[in-house]
Amino acid sequence: MDSPSKIRINQLGYAPHLPQRVTVLTNGPLILRDEHGGEIRRFDHLSPQWDEASGEQVAAVTLHLSAPGTYFLEAADERRKITVHKEPWRDVTDALIKGLYYQRCGCALEAIHAGAYAHPACHTAPAVDWEDRNVRKKVIGGWHDAGDYGKYVGPGAVTVAHLLYAFMLFPSGCSDPLNIPESGNGVPDILNEARYELEWLLQMQRADGAFHHKLTKARFAPFIMPQEDRETEYLMPVSSCATGAACACLALASRVYRAFDAPFANRMLLSALRAWDWLGRNPAFVPFQNPEGVRTGQYGDRSDADERFWAACELFAATGEARFREAAEASYARGQQLTQFGWANVGGLGALCCLFDVKEKAGDILYAALKKDFLEQSEAYLALSQKSGYGTALDPAHYVWGSILPIMSHAMAMILNALITGREDMRDAALLQWHYALGMNALDTCFVTGFGEKSVLHPHHRPSGADDVEAPVPGLISGGPNKRFPYPATKEKLGEDTPPAKYFLDETPSADTNEIAIYWNSPAIFVGAYLNSLTLK
Ligand code: 9MR
Ligand code: ZN
């Protein structure tokens, strides 16, 4: 990658009526020019502030360009092109959804949809039950989780939920045709794509209602194409987190798909109810730990209280039955983190369900009290954003594996806050997280493959590494800097002194900083859909 520019921008451009933040590593001057070189504005003295996460002095500048077009920024002997466009983020949002299509398992990706990334069907052999090797079951479909070929129930359920809520809240921002096999069938493609995972999810349920935690091999495959990965896949033991998340997701999906396909909606609701009954019969936490000899993703969780809460909320929304409301209220009373939207903590999805789907009908506790709580909890992210030179809503000590997840998840919380309160500061801070993802960051990198002038080129993604196409599969978002749990090899290369926001290697082996994952794409899709809905005005 080229050396970083001192002018950090959203590489995909800015919208006319939303704050156009750029970040520069200079005291000034910064000159803004039109496309012919004419000076529009000069910022002689900037006031840089210390940005702890990047270990640099950076100055935040907001431009006010109302006319779409091409402009130039000049500073520190550099000149950088920026664009203002009426709908700057529609293509990247579409690509992030299409990115999930490229993760499809169990079917061929045809050249008409996948272009150079076409490949034959993968993982079509029957799965073997890990606990009873005599049991074989055909479980086909779903998305490969990430750079590996595993398929995991909890993370899959959360990904689908992000998509469905993006569609419910911002349909105009995420309903473009995507050139996938189902395109043109009368259903928006975001729902067609999500259904591919839902059909798989339904197959992951055991006869007693519980969900298997995952369907993976015992070990990760080498960097081969998926169709070459032919070792046995196992249905791993069940867990209460997987069961709770699947239950919630299927109950949610039963509402969203009812208008398009009632029998499918009913199948999902019945499955969710069977999962709920299992949870009722098994009130104690059933954790998942990789069995001896298994090395694939663990997605270990310390509690299922949030999954049970989310499931109760979604089933209440789906059925209106008092028993689900009571269960949700009881879970809520025991304490929930209402602004977390990742695979490990799904409390935010329960809050989203109550506040934006059930609404007033949820009552004094699940609506009025929960709303107050939600607004309070989301305040912290605005404070984090304000402390950061780039406006990034992440504590410098929390650049974890997949830091893009907390950053996008915090953006989601601020978006929901803005929707409830109408606060522009929340909306604008959410936008700064989007700018981060698309290039306004300490690495001068757009984290979405195939987009922007300098984007991630070598993600830890098996098909991207194993195919003979140079460019990575497009529309996949990298996990980004991770100073909390880096690999020893990463530590050796970057050393102790590299600041957290720069703890990143655009190198294929670096799963710890540069993997992609379906549930990193999905909160970005939610954020993109929201912003697209604003730019449509
Ligand atoms: O997203 C997961 C992250 O929170 C964990 O810190 C990390 C290490 O355990 O695992 C991540 O999930 C990986 C999963 O275990 C297997 N598929 C790839 C996932 C993304 O790196
Ligand atoms: Zn596959």
Is 2 a member of any domain? Answer: no
Spacing, Cα 129 to ligand 2 middle (Å): 18
pLDDT at residue 3 in the model? 87
Is 119 a member of any domain? Answer: yes
Is 372 a member of any domain? Answer: yes
Is 402 a member of any domain? Answer: yes
Spacing, Cα 220 to ligand 1 middle (Å): 12
Residue with tokens 């992951």: 204
Residue 208: how many other CB atoms lie within 10 Å: 12
Helix (H, G, I), strand (E, B) or coil at 237: coil
Identify the residue whose C-alpha is closest to ligand 1 atom 7.
401
- Report percent pLDDT > 70 for the chain: 99
Is 51 a member of any domain? Answer: no
Identify the residue whose C-alpha is closest to ligand 1 atom 5.
401
Ligand 1 atom closest to the CA of 400, numbered from 1: 6
DSSP-assigned letter for residue 110: -
Segment 371-386 shows an average pLDDT of 98
Q: Does residue 397 surpass a pLDDT of 80?
A: yes
Helix (H, G, I), strand (E, B) or coil at 146: strand
pLDDT at residue 76 in the model? 86
pLDDT band at 28 (very low <50, low <70, confident <90, very high): confident
Interatomic CA distance for residues 406 and 385, integer angstroms: 12
Please choose from 148, 482, 505 the residue to mutate so as to test ligand 1's pocket, defined by most ligand atoms within 8 A of CB. 148
Helix (H, G, I), strand (E, B) or coil at 508: coil
**pLDDT tens, position by position, 477-486:** 999 999 999 9
Interatomic CA distance for residues 353 and 80, integer angstroms: 43
Residue length of the chain: 537
**pLDDT tens, position by position, 441-474:** 999 999 999 999 999 999 999 999 999 999 999 9
Q: Does residue 1 surpass a pLDDT of 70?
A: no
Please choose from 143, 299, 519 the residue to mutate so as to test ligand 1's pocket, defined by most ligand atoms within 8 A of CB. 299
Identify the residue whose C-alpha is closest to ligand 1 atom 1.
402
Interatomic CA distance for residues 180 and 144, integer angstroms: 17
Contact 192, 185 (CB under 8 A): yes
Q: Does residue 331 surpass a pLDDT of 90?
A: yes
Contact 198, 268 (CB under 8 A): yes
516: tokens are: 């992609």
**pLDDT tens, position by position, 236-278:** 999 999 999 999 999 999 999 999 999 999 999 999 999 999 9
Pairing of strands 69-75, 78-84: antiparallel
Helix axes 262-281, 240-257, angle to 10 degrees: 150
Q: Return the CATH number at 181.
A: 1.50.10.10
Is 175 a member of any domain? Answer: yes
Ligand 1 atom closest to the CA of 515, numbered from 1: 21
- Taking the CA atoms of residue 528, residue 456, residue 200 and residue 158 in that order, the dihedral angle to the nearest 10 degrees is -50
Identify the residue whose C-alpha is closest to ligand 1 atom 19.
146
Ligand 1 atom closest to the CA of 296, numbered from 1: 16
pLDDT at residue 2 in the model? 67
Which ligand is located closest to the Cα atom of residue 159?
Answer: 1
Helices (H), 366-517: 370-387, 404-421, 424-437, 462-466, 488-494, 511-514
Spacing, Cα 278 to ligand 1 middle (Å): 27
Ligand 1 atom closest to the CA of 145, numbered from 1: 17
Which ligand is located closest to the Cα atom of residue 345?
Answer: 1
Interatomic CA distance for residues 320 and 362, integer angstroms: 9
Helix axes 153-169, 240-257, angle to 10 degrees: 30
pLDDT at residue 537 in the model? 57
Ligand 1 atom closest to the CA of 460, numbered from 1: 21
Which amino acids bring their CB within 6 angstroms of ligand 1?
Answer: 145-146, 148, 150, 297, 299, 401-402, 485, 511, 515, 517
pLDDT band at 297 (very low <50, low <70, confident <90, very high): very high
CA angle 350, 356, 359 (to 5 degrees): 95
Burial of 25 (0-12, 13-18, 19+ CB in 10 A): buried
What total number of domains does the chain contain? 1
Is 268 a member of any domain? Answer: yes
Interatomic CA distance for residues 478 and 498, integer angstroms: 19
Is 156 a member of any domain? Answer: yes
Segment 353-377 shows an average pLDDT of 97
Segment 152-159 shows an average pLDDT of 99
* Higher pLDDT among residues 76 and 408, named by residue: 408
Q: Which of 138, 73, 141 lies closest to 107, judged by CA?
A: 141
Range of the domain at 140: 90-442+516-535
- Bridge partners of 264, per DSSP, are none
Q: Which of 349, 381, 392, 358 lies closest to 526, judged by CA?
A: 349
pLDDT at residue 388 in the model? 98
**pLDDT tens, position by position, 179-210:** 999 999 999 999 999 999 999 999 999 999 99
Segment 8-24 shows an average pLDDT of 97
Contact 430, 2 (CB under 8 A): no
Q: Does residue 427 surpass a pLDDT of 90?
A: yes
Q: Does residue 513 surpass a pLDDT of 80?
A: yes
Please choose from 515, 518, 521 the residue to mutate so as to test ligand 1's pocket, defined by most ligand atoms within 8 A of CB. 515
The chain-wide mean pLDDT, for the chain, equals 97
Question: CB neighbours of 270 closer than 8 A, spacing ≥ 6?
Answer: none
Ligand 1 atom closest to the CA of 512, numbered from 1: 21
